[in-house]
């Protein structure tokens, strides 16, 4: 069986949990301390979804412009999907999602979300284990995602909730779209 290689890019504000989502998915681990990623970090994992094998290459970003490589078109070249991550306990991080969509679309020179030449856009509300401190409702984010042709889910890198699921269902979605 031959592998399909997919490139994932993860963007969003600092401290929303991008690096921990990658760590949880690729290594089933988690880090309490927040360290700014410098430049770009990579994660790799092989998965099989619906009898199709995939090799996922995941590009993590700092989210802080001073360290940022996400201003480069190369960063998004050949991307199959983009994860736009916010923290459900931070309205501010959610309100920055339109900025990230604008950045990625402009820099990557992609058509609108849903177009053939555009990677699959996925909206992720992370830290679902902290739902008691929630500042962004599930319904509000789902509505935004539907309007922008994005897949939507809430995850917890800490408890593992939905992490594997979102990486795998996105692979299936990219595959179906191709
Ligand atoms: P990044 O800057 O977006 O890469 O964020 P990090 O992955 O470095 O995480 C930032 C902080 O949030 C760290 O202290 C993490 O331990 C914490 N964090 C990340 N994901 C979760 C989560 O799902 N739940 C909770 N409660 N904390 C999280
Ligand atoms: Mg990081």
Judge whether 23 and 34 are in contact, CB under 8 Å: no
Structure tokens at 105: 């679309």
Q: What is the ipTM metric for this complex? A: 0.99
Residue with CA at minimum distance from ligand 1 atom 8: 34
Judge whether 76 and 3 are in contact, CB under 8 Å: no
pLDDT (mean) for 13-29: 92
Q: Is residue 34 pLDDT above 80, yes or no?
A: no
Structure tokens at 132: 């008691």
Ligand 1 within 6 A of CB of 40: no
- Return residues with CB closer than 5 A to ligand 2 (ion): 18-19, 37
Dist. CA 98 → ligand 1 center (Å): 21
Cα–Cα distance measured from residue 43 to residue 58, given in angstroms and rounded to the nearest whole number: 5
Judge whether 139 and 12 are in contact, CB under 8 Å: no
pLDDT (mean) for 160-165: 98
Report pLDDT for 75: 85
Report pLDDT for 175: 92
pLDDT (mean) for 127-151: 97
Report pLDDT for 84: 97
């Amino acid at each position: 069986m031959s592998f399909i290689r997919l490139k994932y890019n993860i963007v969003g504000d600092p401290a929303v949990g991008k690096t921990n989502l990658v760590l949880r998915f690729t290594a089933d681990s988690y880090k309490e301390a927040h360290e700014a990623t410098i430049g770009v970090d990579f994660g790799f994992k092989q998965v099989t979804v619906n009898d199709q094998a995939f090799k996922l290459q995941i590009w993590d970003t700092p989210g802080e412009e001073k360290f940022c490589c996400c201003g480069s078109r190369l960063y998004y070249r050949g991307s199959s999907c983009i994860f736009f991550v916010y923290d459900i306990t931070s309205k501010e991080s959610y309100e920055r999602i339109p900025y990230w969509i604008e950045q990625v679309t402009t820099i990557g020179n992609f058509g609108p979300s849903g177009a053939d030449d555009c990677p699959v856009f996925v909206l992720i509300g992370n830290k679902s284990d902290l739902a008691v401190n929630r500042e962004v409702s599930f319904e509000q984010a789902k509505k935004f995602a539907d309007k922008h042709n994005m897949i939507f889910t809430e995850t917890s890198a800490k408890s593992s909730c939905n992490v594997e699921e979102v990486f795998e269902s996105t692979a299936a979605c990219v595959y179906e779209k191709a």
